[in-house]
Structure 1
Amino acid sequence: MRGTKAIYAVERLKTRSGNSAYAALSLPGGVFRLVDRAGGAERTVGEPMPLDAFVAFVDSLSPAQPKRQSKLDAAFDAQIKRSRR
């Protein structure tokens, strides 16, 4: 289960950045390391870190994609803003 959270974080990074060569390596002691295997060489990105720090680091490398919002959601948000005045 612990490795799954790290792998999902790397999958999100791959989608956001367009670089499918990123990989998460699990090291002894419950730490993870991010590597970039682009160009055939394995380049370490960052330092080995515990799971929660690793996920936060990976998520910070590429900006999150904006959430989609329907017209109804936008109208509802506008209505809430008007009612708070």
Structure 2
Amino acid sequence: MSGRSTRATSAVDRLKARSGNPKYSMSRTGSGLFFLTEAPGGAPLCAPLELDDFVAFVNGHGPQTPRRVSKLDVAFEKQLNKKAPG
């Protein structure tokens, strides 16, 4: 499997984990474009896309995981807000 397919497969695996739906599947066209289906051999959920566009589509599809924020992130954000011209 090429690095291109690995990136796309990883994006689909993350979608499966986020959504709890193990039926999502990725397919490739003969020209190397990717598309997402909800079941192997099912109807495409998107038009065939280049790798970067496909990964962005899959990352935005389905439920999103909340961004983890550490105490250091909060403190840094406070510092940025204090320094902002206002």
Which amino acid letter does the alignment assign opposite residue 19 of structure 2?
Answer: S
Sort the Cα spacing of 1:54 and 1:72 in 2 relative to 1 into closer, same or farther, 3 A: closer
Q: Would the alpha carbon gap of residues 41 and 50 (structure 1) be closer, same or farther in structure 2, given more than 3 Å must change?
A: closer
Give the TM-score of the pair, scaled to structure 2.
0.75
Aligned residue for 1:43, secondary structure, equals coil
- Give unmatched runs, 5+ long, in structure 1: none
Q: What is the RMSD computed on CA atoms of the aligned residues? A: 2.2
Unaligned runs of 5+ in 2: none
Find the aligned partners of 2:60 and 2:68 in 1 and give their Cα distance: 20
Whose helix proportion is higher, 1 or 2? 1
Identity %: 41
Q: In structure 2, what is the equivalent of residue 66 of structure 1?
A: 66
CA distance in 2, matches of 1:41, 1:48: 14
Q: Within 5 Å, which residues of 2 pair with 1:29-48?
A: 29-37=31-39, 42-48=42-48
**2:50 aligned partner:** 50
CA–CA separation in structure 2 for the residues paired with 1:19 and 1:75? 37
| Off by >6 Å, runs of 4+ in structure 1 | none
Partner residue in 2 for 1:84: 84
Cα distance in 2 for residues equivalent to 1:49 and 1:80: 38
Write out per-residue CA displacement over residues 32-66 of structure 1, whole angstroms, 9 at most, x where no aligned residue: 121112xx873321222222221222122135422
* Residues 76/57 of structure 1: CA separation in 2 closer, same or farther (3 Å cut): closer
